[in-house]
Amino acid sequence: MSRLVPLARFGDRLATGLLDVTSDPAALDSTGFWAVAADFEGRLTCARFRDVRHEPVPAPVPGAWHGPATDAWTSSLDRAAYTAGVRRIREHIAAGEVYQANLCRVLSAPVAPDADVDALTALLARGNPAPYAGTIRLPGHGVEIATASPELFLRRTGRVVESGPIKGTGRTEADLLEKDYAENVMIVDLVRNDLGRVCATGSVTVPDLCVVEKHPGLVHLVSTVRGELPADAGWPELLAAAFPPGSVTGAPKSSALRIIDALETAPRGPYCGGIGWVDADRGTGELAVGIRSFWIDRADGMLRFGTGAGITWGSDPEGEWRETELKASRLLAVASGAYEVSGGALS
């Protein structure tokens, strides 16, 4: 692991030359280029880098990534426990305690000591390209993440902020159900409320509602929520208002978080948190929701990956289990070497 130098990669932007690391969100309003990783449970890591350049994600190098065997993955919730959890959430909904809650499970598999998340990023870029793909590699600070996230958590351009919640997943548009559209609208209302806590009164709008987006192997329903920060609000206030992301918690958020804590048996970590970058000099930044993300836990030598589904009254337990399988299948295949590299491209 000692050979792994700190770096961050977001799209074709590569950051090297680590300067400092902090857990203080106020640093994001200071100076410099920062990589940001926020665990679902609240741990925040902000790493400032000296050198930032544009460089395409390199082609996968045969043998550079040593992934786990396809049958080595274990789940924090098995099929029986997950479907039982879905039924329990429906009971909470029937009791009027919550309208929707996201139920997740964490998959784990042993990984080689020399495993490098940046090599995994190169594979993901070919096998599962994503708009918010990235790497944060900080071995000395317990952060080694490769994400193929399709979902925007927060984008900031000066005072304007934007979120792009995803709710509704299917193999094709024809698979999307009335339940998916209702769930998306519900989460849009939650995100509007979150941004409304920090944005100027009357500035929060919804430019796009329930747009169908195509991604490798599946489609999503995506909406856009936008607002404007007042002069006295910055990244600390924005994160305090919006975190954790509404699309991976539920509505009302406080009730959903209590139910999630009771039903899930493993911490989510970077999964469902926020992963991305902030250019404090330019007043811009882009954080993805930490879905479709792998991370290495050196404490036990495990590679981890999270998957989940939003549960509503209209949810079918077996259908929600299948949705978690659909979201995970392609990425686990990439990480486990089911996609072979030949001549610098995936075959």
CB atoms within 10 A of CB 40: 25
The pLDDT, as a whole number, for residue 316 is 96
Q: What is the mean pLDDT of residues 4-24?
A: 97
Is 151 labeled as catalytic in the residue annotation? Answer: yes
The pLDDT, as a whole number, for residue 338 is 67
The pLDDT, as a whole number, for residue 218 is 87
Q: Rounded to an integer, what distance in angstroms lies between the CA atom of residue 129 and that of residue 164?
A: 18
Cβ-proximal residues to 84 (8 Å cutoff; 6+ apart), any chain: 317
Does position 233 have pLDDT exceeding 60, yes or no? yes
Does position 19 have pLDDT exceeding 70, yes or no? yes
Average pLDDT in the chain: 94
Listed residue (91, 149, 40, 148) closest to 311, CA to CA: 91
Reading the block at residue 305, the tokens are 């990956």
Of 144, 151, 162, 183, the active-site residue reads 151
Q: Has this prediction a pTM greater than 0.85?
A: yes
Q: What is the mean pLDDT of residues 207-226?
A: 93
Is 167 labeled as catalytic in the residue annotation? Answer: yes
pLDDT, tens digit, for every residue of 254-293?
999 999 999 999 999 999 999 999 999 999 999 999 999 9
Q: What is the mean pLDDT of residues 284-311?
A: 97
Contact 303, 115 (CB under 8 A): yes
Q: What is the mean pLDDT of residues 201-225?
A: 94
The pLDDT, as a whole number, for residue 234 is 97
The pLDDT, as a whole number, for residue 342 is 41
The pLDDT, as a whole number, for residue 339 is 57
In this structure, what DSSP letter does residue 144 have? E
Q: Rounded to an integer, what distance in angstroms lies between the CA atom of residue 90 and that of residue 313?
A: 6
Q: What is the mean pLDDT of residues 242-259?
A: 96
Q: What is the mean pLDDT of residues 61-70?
A: 90
Instruction: State which H helix or E strand residue 93 sits in.
Output: helix 79-94
Set out the domains of the chain in order of their start, with CATH numbers: 7-61+74-339 (3.60.120.10)
Report the DSSP beta bridge partners of residue 228: 160
Confidence of residue 66 (pLDDT cuts 50, 70, 90): confident
Of 162, 167, 179, 320, the active-site residue reads 167
Q: Counting beta carbons within 10 angstroms of the beta carbon of residue 164, is it exposed (0 to 12), middle (13 to 18) or buried (19 or more)?
A: buried
